[in-house]
Amino acid sequence: MKQRIALIGLSGSGKTTVGKLVADKLGWRFVDTDHEIEQQTGHATQQLFVEWGESAFRAKEREVLGQALHAPNTVVATDGGMVEDAANRDLLGSSAFNVWLHAPAAVLVERLRALSDQAPPARFTHLQQRRAPFYTALADWMVATHVRTPHEVADDIVDGYRRSQQKHDDTLRVTTPGGSYPIYLNAGALDELPQRLQEAGVGGGRLWLISDEQVLPLHGERVRNTLKNAERTVQSFAIGAGEGHKTLQTVEQVYDWLLRNGVERGDAVLALGGGVVGDLAGFVAATVLRGIAFVQLPTNVLSMVDSAIGGKTGVDHAVGKNLIGAFWQPRLVLSDTTLLQTLPPRERVAGWAEAIKHGVIGDKELFAALGQHSKALLNGEEPVTSDLLRRAAAFKARIVSGDEREQGERILLNYGHTVGHAIEAESNYTLRHGEAVAIGMMAAGTLANAFGLFPDSELAEQRALLQAFGLPTCVPAGMNIQNILQRITSDKKTRNARVRWVLPRGIGKMIVRDNVPHNVVEVVLSELQEQDHSVTARS
């Protein structure tokens, strides 16, 4: 990523005015090379050019340009003649996104006349002709300035730069009717938070950081410092950790905190944590003041590959999980994989269950890669961890981009969740969400197998992969099967009292069925139940 923009073009084309605006819009530094030379030497550039001669002057320009381009996140306005020098062109070409501000010579002459009573040199048209090939060769983007306001030109440049970055880097994107937003997933992503917020249009207002009691002490300081260094105002609030706190009572506590501290429409909620924090903070953002901007900063495997992406937000109700909520897309998802270092092993394992799910429902290669690297992933080794998290996140991004409201393919993401949610609740949330989903995938896989849809060998492959990650594959001993069945029918994914089952026909191939007989489910769950050896031994 270049992270540097250079404006090239003849004098009068508006490089300084537009450059400052572009820098403001991106939250970057602005450098005008002419101004810099005058600062360093104490003389006007025209004077130096005459006194030193062209080659010494261009050498000084090169030095200043090198200094300007040294730091990332910089917009540079160059002198119109800089491109005449081959070494300067090389420097610009290798380190900046070059934008040619273009206008007909006649327009430029008029502009310069208006600026000073000295008529610009008659050779202006000639200069234009001589330099145009250099500008054309160098330009990554060209903007005609005479038909637009400086703000429009600056917007056009920012747009061009972003497009070029999408081509050159591998930023993931979700595009839905409810919003389009980037997903950054890499080690150290948090360092770029202030800039990413700017780019995502979360520029002006105050920031409200919502986290939980476990994550905030570990990583809150890092987030706050990054933001404070960029002069952003941020306040934080920790909810209790764990599923038990994903409730309307907690939502009310957060509303109290926000409203009593004067939250405003232009502010943004940042969610720093796992799926519970993300779901709850997203719901708060969707509803407080009828909805304010929302940013996901996921901190565990589950949230990075799944819950932070797609805009489903909400809380649990005594009747069942996620029964109250809203679709509310984040403006930005920023996943810093260095945060995973503090993850308890059990959480890390549970999170990978959702990535395995993505493999089973539609990405055979991901499924295979997870099997190949399971040990390295459990040790948190890089770059394989970031690579596979990104791959699993990309899968989710692709599915939700095509189906924001779960009218089509998105339902596939519920694989393993019909039984999973029921078991998770029935365990009183002593099972991790991912663990319950792993059992749920075994239940759905076994059901599909019982109908002759899912071959034995692939069911065995699924079991082996879950086990390689240390995930459970059986219904816990002693869990009441009737209660599980009861909970399945009250799950919200029921349409007209029919349960919609997502079933595999093979790794990477799924179907949805709503005619699965209750008694078959019962048989499968009983078969999958772990035997309680302590009881058998005594009896």
Residues marked as catalytic? 290, 312, 354, 396, 406, 410, 414, 417, 421, 433
Strand-pair category, 74-77 with 494-495: unpaired
Question: Based on CB atoms, which residue is closest to ligand NAD, 11 or 337?
Answer: 337
Inter-CA distances, 444 with 86, 323, 456, 504, Å: 65, 22, 13, 8
Rounded-to-integer distance, Cα 255 and Cα 269, Å: 12
The CB-nearest residue to ligand NAD is: 275
Burial class (CB in 10 A: 0-12, 13-18, 19+), 167: exposed
Alpha-helix runs per DSSP H in 96-218: 105-115, 124-138, 150-168, 193-199, 215
Count CB neighbours of 511 within 10 A.
Answer: 13
- Give yes or no for residue 189 binding ligand NAD (CB under 6 A): no
Residue 385 C-beta: closest distance to ligand NAD, Å: 13
What lies within 8 Å, CB to CB, of 234 at 6+ separation is: 206, 207, 208, 209, 223, 224, 227, 228, 270
Residue 478 CA, distance from chain mean position = 41
Residue 178 C-beta: closest distance to ligand NAD, Å: 14
Question: Based on CB atoms, which residue is closest to ligand NAD, 93 or 320?
Answer: 320
Question: Based on CB atoms, which residue is closest to ligand NAD, 312 or 487?
Answer: 312
Question: Based on CB atoms, which residue is closest to ligand NAD, 304 or 503?
Answer: 304
Question: Based on CB atoms, which residue is closest to ligand NAD, 459 or 512?
Answer: 512
Rounded-to-integer distance, Cα 190 and Cα 340, Å: 13
Q: Interaction with ligand NAD in 422-441: which residues (CB under 6 A)?
A: 432-433
Q: Which of 19, 61, 70 is nearest to 40 (CA)?
A: 61
| Piece in contact with ligand NAD (CB under 6 A), picked from 56-64, 68-76, 335-343, 469-477 | 335-343
Q: What is the DSSP string of 396-453?
A: HHHHHHH-TTSSSGGGGGGTTHHHHHHHHHHTTT-S-HHHHHHHHHHHHHHHHHHTT-
Residue 491 C-beta: closest distance to ligand NAD, Å: 12
What lies within 8 Å, CB to CB, of 137 at 6+ separation is: 89
Length of the chain equals: 539
Residue 214 C-beta: closest distance to ligand NAD, Å: 3
| Piece in contact with ligand NAD (CB under 6 A), picked from 42-50, 103-111, 269-277, 289-297 | 269-277
Residue 524 C-beta: closest distance to ligand NAD, Å: 23
Rounded-to-integer distance, Cα 273 and Cα 46, Å: 56
Question: Based on CB atoms, which residue is closest to ligand NAD, 276 or 465?
Answer: 276
Question: Based on CB atoms, which residue is closest to ligand NAD, 255 or 429?
Answer: 429
Task: Tell me the Cα Rg of the chain.
Answer: 29
Contact between 358 and 395 (Cβ < 8 Å) = yes
**Sheet containing 74-77: which strands, arranged edge to edge?**
29-32, 74-77, 4-8, 97-102, 141-144
Question: Based on CB atoms, which residue is closest to ligand NAD, 350 or 377?
Answer: 350
Report the residue from 12, 275, 359, 362 that binds ligand NAD according to the rule CB under 6 A: 275
Q: Interaction with ligand NAD in 343-382: which residues (CB under 6 A)?
A: 343, 347, 350
> Pattern 236-265, binding to ligand NAD, x per CB under 6 A?
-----xxx--x-------------------
> Pattern 191-220, binding to ligand NAD, x per CB under 6 A?
---------------------x-xx--x--
Residue 300 C-beta: closest distance to ligand NAD, Å: 4
Rounded-to-integer distance, Cα 3 and Cα 418, Å: 45
Residue 342 C-beta: closest distance to ligand NAD, Å: 4
- Residues near ligand NAD (CB under 6 A) are 212, 214-215, 218, 241-243, 246, 273-277, 279, 299-300, 302-303, 306-307, 310, 312, 321-322, 339-340, 342-343, 347, 350, 432-433
